[in-house]
Structure 1
Amino acid sequence: MSQSDPEEMTDTNGDIEMEEEKTEPENAEPGEATEPKITRFDDNGDLRLIVSNKMRPRSSNIFLVSSKAMSMACDPWNSMLNGQFKESQPSSSGEREVELPDDHPNALAIPLHIAHLRFDLIPEQPTFSTLLNIAVLSDKYDATHILRPWATSWVNALSHTVEEPGYEEWLWVAWEFGQAKIFEDIATRLVRTINIGPDGKCQTPEGKILDPASSRQYLPPEIIESIMAIREKTVVDLLDIFYSKLESFVKNHSSGMTVCFGPKNENKVRQVECDAMVFGSLSLSLLEVGLSSQRMDPVAVTMSVDQLLEKLREVQAYETVIHETGGCKNLTTNESLLEYLEDVENSIPSPVLDLHHRHLQRQAKKLGLDKGVVSSCT
């Protein structure tokens, strides 16, 4: 996947202010190639990393690093620099260079600072965009373990944004950093709040499409699919409360029977009138809230579960007693309809699958969360 739009490399909100030998001129024309920015992680470094800037495609960052320090940080870097990959070979000029066109420079700088023991340059509170891109790179390079002293404090510092609109990619951060509760809370909330957007895709209330196939988003495997599946099942269960009731009237009357069985020895006409009253009032009430009086294909219901619940709570059957000696003994009252809705609402299953639980447990172990103790190295 491609990286999210990178941020400027400043120390605002804890982002790293890089040591630059050359900077982009203020009068550079859009699209004009500029001198690369050079950051020295090791003054005696033997490797140059060429890191692209997605905001300025014609500019790049050069990181001068120690290949040994990188190799010791994580296995993928060791394989990349010391194995049979082309990245481990010197260029024609004799210098070793590795191009990392997809890595966010601000985020990549953080594990590099850690690998080079430059702990004083690790931010206490990166922005969420930087934290997301750190999580992307730690997954890509299997480097979660080297973030152990900082990851949980970063998460805690930004946890106030978990419930805010537009931060759905907390799913990826929680997935990478073993934050099971955050992962569960966001996924469960999305089951209730997402609607169906263009082409049947998952859409937030603010209109943001959550597309697992997008190259511009970071979403854990199978979670959006699970959220969509549970949302659809919940829609079916909610609508079934009303449609099964209406269909019972149709079925009984087609067999010459009534749903209502009023007081003993009552004229059957009263029971037919009672059925007509309940059937008609339920049907009209569904139409009044913008739903069909006939069973709908759940795919056609694009509103969220919460929006559907709000509409269905307004649906009412006409309850005026028409029997001479008492009420109908099997009438689904409005009170019972609300109870059925509450039962479905309270039984919505979690969209978090076993594969998610297992991964979150593995990541939590890497960061020491399984022991409840996180070491500090700041």
Structure 2
Amino acid sequence: MSPLKETGSPELTELDPRGDVVFVVGSAAGEDTPARSFRACSRTMARVSPVFDRMLNGKFTEAKPAASGSGDAAADWVVQLRDDKPDAFALFASIAHAQYRCVPRSLTIDKFYDLTVLTHYYDATPMLTPWLQGWISGIGEVPDVGSEGLLMPKLLWISWELGHKQLFESTARRMVMECQGSMIGEDAGLEELSMPPDIIERINAIRSQTIQSIMDVFRDLYEKLVTVDEGPRWCLHASYMGPHRCESMILGSMTFCLTRAGLWPIPETSDVDDSVVMLYSTLMNLVIHDIGRPGEKGGVDHSECNPRAFLMGQIKDILAEVPSPGLQVYLRCQTPESRTMPGRDPPPDVLLSSPAPAASRTSPLEPEVGIQCEGYNVVLRWDTGIASRGRLTGAPTPADAPPAKRRRTTLSSRSSSGEHPSEKDSDPKPAAPPGREKGRSRELFPRQIPLALPPNPEPSPQHSEPSQAGSPWPGQTEEDRHLYEQSTHLYVSSPANPSSLFEEYYLRGLHLFRKQLESYDGTVNVGVIPNPLMKLFQSAPWSVHLELMTTVYGLGGSLHGSAILDNPDACFPLELMAVMDMPTFVRGRSTMTLGIWHRLRQAQESRHEKAEGGIEVITSLPRSLLDIFSSIQDESSEDALLSWPGELGEIPQIHLWEAYRFAGALTGRRLRRGLGLSSLAPSTELLVGRLVAAIDALCDTRTRPEYDHLLTTNSLLYPYVAARLEVATLQRRPSWMEVLRRAVDICQPYGRSANACNIAEMLDEAWKAGDDDYDIDEHARRRNVEIALF
């Protein structure tokens, strides 16, 4: 065989020095990357790829040339693969020839994409199995340079080709939330990419529908604000033929803010280039003014007419209901026609007689499920192989299907059967609003995006294995661990500089929480607890989910004889739910309490399990003290708190318990305001003084090294809020106010959370107004938030 040393021949790589064929890959003319030549073994290439098998051993131009005469030597066997990328082919052929030293431990998304496009075309994706786990886990660790904002579309293709359903769904979801502008058209840059059929259209349609729904919220409000007397008006204090000062103030403020944001006049969806996440961030920062509270001359309170809380609630509801763009497309893509690789035409006979797609899409990263897919006569299974349209060992024979050309269907030439209704021709676009450019070229996604994300776990009880020994929670599963990680992301999110993935994790965690409740098997799954708990740090309303958990777990009535209590692992999650339900521990709830703690303690007492002492781990409070807090709305609770004997503990803990005692007494008085106090009851000023002293003493202990291991000051929020609400007393004692400000500055680890910011705003509002009767529950409900104080 000739070594191919002719002048101008591409660089030769010896994959097999005894190889009988030379592949010339790429085109040296008109391409940025020059062509390369590879000497390889034809039998090796035929073994790893049925396409190469037919190409090299069939009656095609790529087959081995025969000798011209009986005594003549055979001509050099050279196969031209001008449409393949040399680097991807080099890695593909190195794996085929067992040149494992040439296989990298990690791949950029660009290289991973090129490789899977190549292996899909040659029906050889299963050979990548040994390296997939490492490559998938390393996504995002290797920087992609010059990707031109196409990382997520390429990652979408990779996950589809490898059969990684979770990664496919999460990537499609991210594209919905983070795509900037339309993904259809020349500006998008997706025309030449290999994509699963119809997925880009569906993602673009869902993005458009989401933005349309968000903009419709403001359109509807605008219509209400300009209503004169022909229908119900927005102002709560409006009267027929009355003034419109309230609506005019709100309308002017809203249009000013939207104009500054480049969203006025309210644009059509096609004119919004921002991503859903960017649009959400912009709208959440809108400040809408109202007439406000009456002044000294009297009047009515128009602060309740402010629509901001209503608008933000509507937007959050819209985002919570955004459908998954990936699942249905993913399942539909298992048909033989849709699994045909786009890109270019192989030799005609290969198209006509190549093996039909395998009936088994498998992945080493997925649990087994059974799904009947259209176009097949067998059940698809997820097992241990790799998703490919090729034949897998042991795979059932698929139903016969008409052969499909291996040509890519471009985005502009999709069949009408897969077209989404919103993608059809519409009226000409209106003029762009001020400050917006039309027709400009832009990247769909930022070039540098964090892609090393935990996949979106789907609850699967039959495949959920208990965690290893040493797990922080008994019975914790892998799905629970992912949920906990997502909840922790919410826990540490800063509202001053929120992560762009905040909404993604928020909705993903809520979705999984609901799924795990649906898979209820008679036991309390501790994995559903962290996500709702951490939601409270974002001030998200939680009561409805707590009621749902109470219903699902059968905690609504008496717990005497309940089977849940037979499980020793249920103690922690049940107590945690009871703490979250404790009256006044979460402000702004529509229902003060569901009575979980009281029923739980009664059931434990009936089983002779009730302990007089013991510390509850979430609040760091004695259970005997929590028993009193569970009925804080009762008149007898104040005497019980003031006469509580206490329990033994560390010095910081004792200070904390004292603070909670007096805070509980003050909070109970506010709940029963108007009923009067006994002549023997201590004055409010005395209780506030002792409360401030306990808080000050607790803060001083944090500088002592022997108490470094304690996190007692983390629980200061409840007593701090109770003291701050006593506005009249603090105005008479300004030094106490300074003590409280110092305490919250040095002892509040959650000071930048949305929960803490809402609390600070309401407390400052009460202080500036000098309102000693400030109802924090009512004001929290007006803001559509629930405030966690434990």
Q: TM-score range by the shorter chain?
A: 0.7 to 0.9
8 Å CA contact 1:144, 1:363 repeated in 2? no
Counterpart among 357, 360, 365 of residue 369 in structure 1: 365
Which blocks of at least 5 consecutive residues in structure 1 are unaligned?
1-20, 25-32
Q: What is the deviation of 1:22?
A: 8.6
Query: 1:64 is paired with a residue of what secondary structure?
Result: strand
* 1:4 corresponds to: none
Residues 199-225 of structure 1 deviation map (CA, whole Å, 9 limit, x = unaligned)? x5569xxxx9543313xx444433332
Rounded Cα–Cα distance in structure 2 between residues aligned with 1:188 and 1:282 = 30
Against the structure 1 CA distance between its residues 56 and 34, is the aligned structure 2 distance closer, same or farther, given a 3 Å change threshold? Answer: farther
Query: 2:151 is paired with a residue of what secondary structure?
Result: coil
Residues 299-353 of structure 1 deviation map (CA, whole Å, 9 limit, x = unaligned)? 1222222232233224344322589764469946322222112222222222214
1:226 lines up with 2:226 in the alignment: no
Rounded Cα–Cα distance in structure 2 between residues aligned with 1:161 and 1:104 = 20
Q: What is the deviation of 1:101?
A: 0.6
* 2:122 corresponds to: 141
1:87 lines up with 2:62 in the alignment: yes
- 1:20-99 matches, within 5 Å, as 34-52=8-26, 60-90=35-65, 94-99=75-80
Q: What is the deviation of 1:114?
A: 3.2
Rounded Cα–Cα distance in structure 1 between residues aligned with 2:286 and 2:114 = 46
1:167 lines up with 2:139 in the alignment: no
8 Å CA contact 1:144, 1:366 repeated in 2? no
Rounded Cα–Cα distance in structure 1 between residues aligned with 2:333 and 2:174 = 21
* 1:27 corresponds to: none
Q: What is the deviation of 1:275?
A: 3.2
Against the structure 1 CA distance between its residues 173 and 367, is the aligned structure 2 distance closer, same or farther, given a 3 Å change threshold? Answer: same
Rounded Cα–Cα distance in structure 1 between residues aligned with 2:112 and 2:328 = 26
Rounded Cα–Cα distance in structure 2 between residues aligned with 1:129 and 1:285 = 41
- 1:146-157 matches, within 5 Å, as 146-157=127-138
* 1:315 corresponds to: 286
- 1:1-378 matches, within 5 Å, as 34-52=8-26, 60-90=35-65, 94-160=75-141, 167-168=151-152, 169-196=154-181, 201=183, 210-214=188-192, 217-250=193-226, 252-253=227-228, 256-260=230-234, 262=236, 268-270=240-242, 272-293=244-265, 295-321=266-292, 326-327=300-301, 331=305, 333-357=307-331, 359=333, 365-370=361-366
Report the AA paired with residue 180 of structure 1. Answer: K
Against the structure 1 CA distance between its residues 327 and 161, is the aligned structure 2 distance closer, same or farther, given a 3 Å change threshold? Answer: farther
Q: What is the deviation of 1:292?
A: 1.8
Residues 221-240 of structure 1 deviation map (CA, whole Å, 9 limit, x = unaligned)? 33332222122111111111
8 Å CA contact 1:145, 1:366 repeated in 2? no
* 2:354 corresponds to: none
Which blocks of at least 5 consecutive residues in structure 2 are unaligned?
69-73, 340-357, 368-382, 387-790
* 2:351 corresponds to: none
Against the structure 1 CA distance between its residues 269 and 285, is the aligned structure 2 distance closer, same or farther, given a 3 Å change threshold? Answer: farther
Rounded Cα–Cα distance in structure 2 between residues aligned with 1:167 and 1:55 = 27
TM-score under structure 1 length normalisation: 0.73
Against the structure 1 CA distance between its residues 240 and 128, is the aligned structure 2 distance closer, same or farther, given a 3 Å change threshold? Answer: closer
Against the structure 1 CA distance between its residues 240 and 38, is the aligned structure 2 distance closer, same or farther, given a 3 Å change threshold? Answer: same
8 Å CA contact 1:227, 1:351 repeated in 2? yes
Rounded Cα–Cα distance in structure 2 between residues aligned with 1:98 and 1:78 = 13
Against the structure 1 CA distance between its residues 83 and 22, is the aligned structure 2 distance closer, same or farther, given a 3 Å change threshold? Answer: closer
Report the AA paired with residue 170 of structure 2. Answer: D
8 Å CA contact 1:22, 1:37 repeated in 2? no
Which piece of structure 1 moves more, 352-361 or 134-143? 352-361
Larger Rg belongs to: 2
Rounded Cα–Cα distance in structure 2 between residues aligned with 1:213 and 1:248 = 43
Which piece of structure 1 moves more, 269-278 or 172-181? 269-278
CA RMSD of aligned residues (A): 3.9
Q: What is the deviation of 1:84?
A: 3.0
Report the AA paired with residue 172 of structure 2. Answer: A
Rounded Cα–Cα distance in structure 2 between residues aligned with 1:88 and 1:364 = 31
Rounded Cα–Cα distance in structure 2 between residues aligned with 1:163 and 1:180 = 23
8 Å CA contact 2:11, 2:35 repeated in 1? yes
* 1:9 corresponds to: none
8 Å CA contact 1:23, 1:36 repeated in 2? no
Residues 36-75 of structure 1 deviation map (CA, whole Å, 9 limit, x = unaligned)? 3222333332222122266985953322222222222121
Q: How many residues align?
A: 333
Query: 1:111 is paired with a residue of what secondary structure?
Result: helix
Against the structure 1 CA distance between its residues 256 and 176, is the aligned structure 2 distance closer, same or farther, given a 3 Å change threshold? Answer: closer
Q: What is the deviation of 1:143?
A: 0.6
Higher relative contact order, chain-length normalized (CA < 8 Å, sep 6+):
1
Report the AA paired with residue 42 of structure 2. Answer: S
Counting aligned pairs with the same residue, the percent is 25
8 Å CA contact 1:274, 1:322 repeated in 2? no
